Every structure is written in C-alpha cells, then in structure tokens.
Structure 1
Amino acid sequence: MLLTQGMYARNIIFISFKRLNTGYVRNDKFRLLFEERASYGKIRGYHRRFSFWLQEQSLQVTRACTKQFEFILAQRVRRSIQIFHLYTRIWDEITLKRFIRSWTQRCTRNARHFLLSAAGVSVYNWNTERISDEEINRYRREIEEIERLRKSTIICPECNLRIKFDEKQPNVTYCESHGAPIIENEGWQPFMDRKDMLVWRKKEPNDLYTYKIYGSFPDVTAEDFLQVQIDIDYRKKWDTNACVVQLIESDPISVSCKDQSTDIIYWEIKWPVMFLNRDYVYQRRWVIDRENGLIILISKGTTHPDVPVKPGVYRVTTYWSYLVIKAHKDFDEPGIEIGLTYYDDPGINIASVTTWVAMNGLSDFIGRMRKAALDYYQYKISRKERQEKDAEEIEEDATTITRVATF
C-alpha cells in the first residue's frame, strides 16, 4: 500500500513539473534524485512488509518451539519412568517405600546427630556402656552350673530319677516310690517341665521373677541357633509377636570382628488387647569361643538418643538376659545345650498376670525359637538363591539402563 502511494505521488510530481518546466524535469540530476527517492521508498516498503510478515509468523514459531519443548520433556519423563520401573524390579515396592521412609527419617533427624554421624562419631558412649569381657567370662561355665542346679532341685537323691513337679513328659522316667520333695537352691524353684526344656524361677524383692531355662536340642546346630537370635530379617519372619525389630547402631570396635559383635537393638512386642505393647532398647553382645565350643550372648537394657519413648507403647527400662549355647561337637553339626537366664520389669506387678504370661509365653517362645533354628538352613539356601537371582536381575537391569541412557 505504501509503495503504491509513493508511486502515485511521484507521478503527480512528474506531471506537474512537466507542465511547468519540461526542460527542468528532464534534467539528469533531478531525474536521478527522484529515482533514488523511489528506490528508498521501495526498500522501506519491503522492510515494513517483512516486519508485518514476521509478526504474523511469530505465533506459529512460538507454537513450534512449544511443541519441540514438550516433545523433549516427554522424552525425559518417559526415560525417567522407564528407569524407575527398572529399579522397582530390583527392589520390590515395600523395600523401596522403606528405603524412602528411612532416608526421609535420616534427613529430618536432629542436625547435631546428623553432623556427628557424617563425621563418623557416635552419639552413644560405647566406652562407658559397652558390655565388658569380664561379664562375658562370668558365664562360660553356665551350662555346668545349670546341671548342678538340676541335680540339686529336681533329681531324687535316692534313685537319680526326675521328681515330678509339672506335667509329665514322654520318654522321661520319674521317681514314683521315694516321694522326694522339691528342693529350692539359692532361691531357684522348679517352675516348668516341657519337652527338652526345664525352667526355674527366683523371686526378686519387687515380687517379680528371674527365669532360668535349660534346653537340650539334638537336632539344632549352634550356628543356626545363634543366627536365629541375631539375624534381624529372619527374626521378623519367625517371631510373630515382634512388631518391630531394628538395628540402631553397632560398636565401631566390633564391626570388623568375625566371631563377636556388639549392637544396639530396638524391639517392640505385641501384648494382649487389654495392654499396651512393650518395647525395648538394649545392647546385645555375642562372642563365639570356638576353642571351648561356646557361644555367649548378653543383652542389657540401655538408652539411645535415636530411639525416644513412643506414645502408646510402654518402654521396658529394666531388662537383661544371658544366653549360653554349648555345641556337642562342631558349631555346624546338630546337637546343643542352651542356658538362658533373663529378667525384665514389664510394668505390671500382678502375680497372676505375670505368671500367666510366663506360663504361656515361655514354652511357646522357646518352641518357636527351636522351630526357627531347624528352618534356618532352608532359609539360608533360599536367601542365597534369591541373592543370586537378584544379582542376575541387577546385572540385566544395569545393562538395560545403560542402553536406555545411551538412547
């Protein structure tokens, strides 16, 4: 349009000057001047038309750039989803959620504890709280002491047969003729007679009891029985009363040791519906004495800043136990004797309730523990197969991830 107006204006001027002074209009300088002006007008017109065209095309260019960006973003999201699905094949959903929840808890802990952990410094005073070697050595002859207790309390001195003080057990011959009385030895009284298991108890000043258990299991290995106690993942499978079992911290000194370890454990157990669940925070140290065929495991209640008291759960603060496992032959061959002495204060000082818990809980717990030890061999095999399968899947997934990342 502007170009057309310029052409009309030029023609009018030429006609006017032609009528006024034909010679001047034909002058070369004046003609060249008008031609230059006309050329400038053309260039200016082309510039305006290009600008107008560019404005019209800008919306389409913006849309094209947006589509390109969306395409690239979709490719990135799709790749991330593919990688996520690959990792969910490596870790199942529960493990992945547990990992995320654990990481979140770690990140939201107290800053002081986080910094100390990052620096490799424990907030637990192991130098003052660690279970000592003297305490471990104190129980090296526990099985012999229990044998003396058995002879002095439930064995008839006349015929050397067992005195009946509870239910009769199969394959056990009891004294029938002498009527030997049950004898108390240093406060220990016979309490339960079960298959391959005897239990004594001793009354404490607060009217609660300390219990001592002796078991003889010809079909269980010492190594498997130990693993039943210390393998936390396996504990969650066989101990149906355990709500939570968690490793809180390990003693830095024992981390690199093969035949001993010291750890802080958190343990929450179910109680009947009318009562609150009980939980424990305790230090556990175990030592393997291969020369004498012994395993000694000591647990004692403690406190740890990473495990505060939970609402709705009763924290048992007074707790200790001493477990001695004696192998008949080698640690990996069946045949063991065990001696377990333990005491805890569950916060209920009602004799009928504590007796009921002991009568029903002890035999059931020891029975499940023995069954778990028998099943641990199959658990080890299945765990090894699962680990090998997971390793193969991880290798395959790593290859796939590399290919996806390359693509």
Structure 2
Amino acid sequence: MSLRFSEEEFQGAWSELDAPRLDGGWELFTETMGVKIYRLFDQETSLYEYKVQGVLASCAAQLCADVYMDLAYRKNWDGYVKELYEDDFDGQRAIYWQVKYPLAMSNRDYVYVRERRDLEVDGRKIWVILARSSPQAACPERGGVVRVNDYKQSIAMESDGAGGTKVFMNYFDNPGGMIPSWLVNWAAKKGVPNFLTDMQKACSNYAAYCQKK
C-alpha cells in the first residue's frame, strides 16, 4: 500500500544532497567525523530541527538503504531499540518503535509510516526514505512510556563515487516531557555521528546476517 508521500516531499529530500538549504535561520551546530549538523530553532516548540550532511565511507548507497529499511536487523545493531516492528493497527500499516532512555527517564515510543523510493535523477541513482508520525494509527499508549506524536525524518543517499555513500538527513521530533538540555545536545552532537558509525558497521555485517536467517 502506498503511504502517499508526495512527489514534492521526495524531491525535497534529495535536492539537498549536494548543498543543504540553510537560509531562514539555520546554523552550523557541530562538525565531527566528516559529518556536519545544522539546526534551526522552532519557536512553537522551543526545540530544534536538524539537518545532517556527511559521508559513510565504507558502504554502498543501496546497501545503506537496505540496512536502514530492515527493522529486524536494526534490533541487532542499534542498542537504543527496545521494540521495533511493523504491523496493521486497525487497518493502518505502521511501525511501532520504542527507544530506550537513560535511567530515571521514561522511554519514548513512536508510531510512524515510511516509504522508500529508488530514484534516477539526471543519471544519478538516489535512494530516499521518508518517515513521519502517524497518530491516526490505533496503537494504544503504554504506561510509563511517553508517546512521540510529532516526528518527521527524511534521508537521501547516493554513491560518493569512491565506494561510499553521501547522506543527507532532515529530522525533527518533539519527545515531550522534561528533557534536560544536556541530553538534547548530546543526542545531536554525539548520538547522530555515533548512529552513522554504527550503521557503517551494520552495513559491513549485513551479508553475514542475511546468510544466517
């Protein structure tokens, strides 16, 4: 079933692969391990939206897309995943994702839809994955877990011409509750580069994982 993301949304995701659009208040937040992270303050929520640009040097773009889409495999390599699965929620196909938070803080969970398209644009092969929260999916909230209802992410990938992958990601979520600023800053400065590093390792181990299934 098509999740009906618009053509404009897909185009918007890959159009910033070469150069992120940074007008309107975007600022460079941090640069580490070949990854640049930009942020934009959101007046309505007092939170930040992020754009990430970088290169995964050791894995091909299609492999990155396959690994990113494989929910069962992600549970093996992403240590922050508590639960992750796709199911029908009263007729709405969606993904349930629960994220582990530090001790004394409630875990967060997401119910979201996503769609992948493998595009060819002026001779360039580009893989795009879009995701956004789906509050209409009938997935009951759980005690002790905070539901995140405002989440969006887009990721675009293509070959860097040298066996690696150029990546552009745009994301925002409102985790709700009282999240310390140190945790928000850590997630942006360290969590994203660490995730990309873990994903590179996951790509290198994916063939072995598939053989064991």
TM-score grouping bracket, smaller chain normalisation: 0.7 to 0.9
User: 224, 232, 236: which one pairs with 2:63?
Assistant: 224
Match of 1:327 among 159, 175, 179: 159
Query: In structure 2, what is the Cα distance between the partners aligned to 1:249 and 1:227?
Result: 22
Q: Are the aligned partners of 1:210 and 1:342 in contact in 2 as well (CA < 8 Å)?
A: yes
Residue matched to 1:187:
25
Change in CA separation of 1:201 and 1:367 when aligned onto 2, cut-off 3 Å: same
CA contact (8 A) 1:296 1:323 kept: yes
TM-score normalised by structure 1 residue count: 0.47
Deviation of the 1:228 alpha carbon: 1.8
> Which residue identity is paired with 1:130?
R
Alignment of 1:388-399 (within 5 A): none
- In structure 2, the CA distance between the partners of 1:349 and 1:207, relative to structure 1 (3 Å rule), is farther
The residue number in structure 2 matching 1:373 is 203
Please list, as runs of the form range in 1=range in 2, the aligned pairs for 1:121-132 lying within 5 A after superposition: 130-132=4-6
Larger relative strand fraction: 2
CA distance in structure 1 between the aligned counterparts of 2:113 and 2:79, rounded to whole angstroms:
22
> Which of 88, 102, 118 is the aligned partner of 1:288?
118
1:141 aligned to which of 7, 15, 32: 15
* Amino acid of the structure 1 residue aligned with 2:166: E
Per the alignment, residue 342 of structure 1 pairs with 171
Query: 2:72 touches 2:85 (CA, 8 Å); kept in 1?
Result: no
Give the aligned partner of residue 247 of structure 1: 86
Pair 336,357 (structure 1): closer, same or farther in 2 beyond 3 Å? closer
Provide the secondary structure at the position in 2 that maps to 1:131. coil
- Give yes or no for the alignment of 1:265 onto 2:139: no
- Report the secondary structure of 2:57's partner residue: strand
Letter in 2 for 1:131: F
| 1:317 matched to 2:172 | no
Letter in 2 for 1:219: S
Alignment of 1:4-403 (within 5 A): 130-146=4-20, 185-205=23-43, 206-249=45-88, 264-290=94-120, 291-329=123-161, 334-347=163-176, 348=178, 350-380=180-210, 382-383=211-212, 386=213
Equivalent pair of 1:224/1:377 in contact (CA under 8 Å): no
Q: Residues 195-248 of structure 1: CA distance to partner in whole angstroms, max 9, x if unpaired?
A: 121111111112211111111123211121112211111111011110111011
| Structure 2: gaps of 5 or more residues | none
Amino acid at match of 1:140: W
Contact 2:14 2:168 in 1 (8 A): no
Q: CA deviation at 1:276?
A: 0.5
Q: Which amino acid aligns with 1:232?
A: L
2:71 partner amino acid: I
The structure-2 alpha-carbon separation of the partners of 1:352 and 1:328, relative to structure 1 and needing over 3 Å to count, comes to closer
RMSD: 2.5
Between stretches 303-312 and 211-220, larger displacement belongs to 303-312
Could you tell me the TM-score, scaled by structure 2's length?
A: 0.87
Is the 1:208–1:349 contact (alpha carbons within 8 Å) kept by the matching residues of 2? no
* Equivalent-residue separation in structure 2 for 1:318 and 1:289 (angstroms): 27
2-structure distance, mates of 1:221, 1:144 = 17
Q: Conserved in 2, the CA contact under 8 Å of 1:207 and 1:349?
A: no
Query: In 1, distance between residues paired with 2:172 and 2:106?
Result: 19
Of Structure 1 and Structure 2, the greater helix share is in 1
Q: What secondary structure, in the 3-state scheme, does the structure 2 residue paired with 1:293 have?
A: strand
In structure 1, how many angstroms separate the alpha carbons of the residues matched to 2:107 and 2:180?
A: 17
The count of residues paired between Structure 1 and Structure 2 equals 208
The residue type equivalent to 1:336 in the other structure is: T
Gaps of 5+ in 1: 1-125, 150-184, 253-262, 387-407
Opposite residue 359 of structure 1, the aligned amino acid is K
